[in-house]
Amino acid sequence: MPAGKTDLYVEKGATFATTLTWRDVNNNPVDLTGYTARLQIRRAAAAEDVLVGLTSGAGLTLGGAAGTIAVRIEATVTAAIPADAGVYDLELQAADGTVTRLVEGTVTFSPEVTR
């Protein structure tokens, strides 16, 4: 199944937090026990520099049988992002090594005025 499409809006200087739920074709949560996750934001898919990189336990929290993935980018990180836009994807890796790109999209960074 292809990755879902979800665009993100991140306010620079503020904490970004959202929670996603991976569901199967019957709308049941996928058990994420034993999975790891990684998410990267870059200016463009082919760009070398990673603007934001998150992994399990470092910005990404997996919710086991609930199928949830909590995404959190701290305010100090968003404040330092040197771009106005980018692209991202979120991949999950099962214990057997199978990688699933769960979601992808664009990221819009709103500039911070109050500093």
DSSP-assigned beta bridge partners for residue 108? 9, 85
Q: What is the pLDDT of residue 34?
A: 97
- pLDDT tens string 1-50: 789 999 999 999 999 999 999 999 999 999 999 999 999 999 999 999 99
Q: What is the pLDDT of residue 90?
A: 98
Domain 4-110: which CATH class? mainly beta
Domain ranges in the chain are 4-110
- pLDDT tens string 7-19: 999 999 999 999 9
* DSSP labels, 43-97: SSTT-SSEEEEEEETBEEEE-GGG-EEEEEE-HHHHHT---SEEEEEEEEE-TTS
- pLDDT tens string 54-75: 999 999 999 999 999 999 999 9
